[in-house]
Structure 1
């Protein structure tokens, strides 16, 4: 694959690069949240290394998919038809549908398990014992979800620009930003149990969205991200309120 570097003499190229980089950062937030939560199952001294490896794998996965644009386009071709009771006509199942379905179910199952663990109080015991999860199993989970999230990222990139070099640079820049702030995000999520529960709920919602997309039921992502942002703002306000909360002392009535 040959790259044409002369495109950078065009100011429009830089606008496209910055726009796509911003979009990749936004789409990568859910990836950071997932990595931060699963890496928290590791002993503390391995968590930073796990996050770095997870984001590096996400970067390699995205670049690999960008270098295989023709293969990604081929995944949109119908493999077989399915006729479901609630649909008027059968629809063709593609390779992309199968990947989204598997990834969505994995995300729902993993997030639900994490919520159950959190509610049962088993997480603290696990961390106290040095972590029950092995480094290899955590990295394997990250690889699986990286592949799923990468498809969303790549399809967005293809829709915005048509130059693979710009796509690759945008992915590298966005990953550099996410690596720089992944530790801050992870510490914030892990320090605040309610934020962690909210993040896990977000991941379940994203998993449901992926499953619906696999059945050709598109959901406007703007609604999803607005709901996530609104919920996060409300929770941050609740956190500030809990910190400032003081008992209310009622004045005694002069008639008492």
Structure 2
């Protein structure tokens, strides 16, 4: 653990890794229409996964290994209720982070991947649920760990997802034009804003689907394996 200065070398390495991931992920998303005309939708999905997943895995491993680097800005782990709050926020974050399409066959390129224009389920809460989930995840983990490294990581992740909000809307508007602009008018980026001002009505039956049970199962599995995973990654450094 590096802790002799506010911004250790690991802070800059993480920022560089985040920038590399953002360029690769958003760049491939921007080139999707062009790429699919060259190699087909399924093969482009595979290419996207082969580039994005290893970079994401490297980010997760590096974060876990260096999360206590830098300066401790606050220490709240001993306060009653903080641990439960962090786990509750983390569980909520995964509900938003889960792909809004719920179409695993397309995600895995078993079915032909397509760009969809959704306005149901969690999209009624926020048009960009993955951004919301990432912000919640960052708040929870930055609160719990309290180091400058975690804060820098969280700010980098949030910055990337805020850019992705603009980038995603731009790509959908290019593809769907007026149809997307109509959806944009009826939805909001800020969670529940469109519901509160009357542009949307939540339909709870849209949330009753097996995919959410999968998210719950994943959270339980993560809770069970989290201490072992964190310890094993630190030992392997």
Which category describes the TM-score, using the shorter chain as reference length?
A: 0.3 to 0.5
Q: Report 1 or 2 for greater relative contact order, CA contacts < 8 Å, sequence distance ≥ 6.
A: 1
Which of the pair has more CA radius of gyration?
A: 1
TM-score norm. by structure 2 comes to: 0.34
TM-score norm. by structure 1 comes to: 0.32
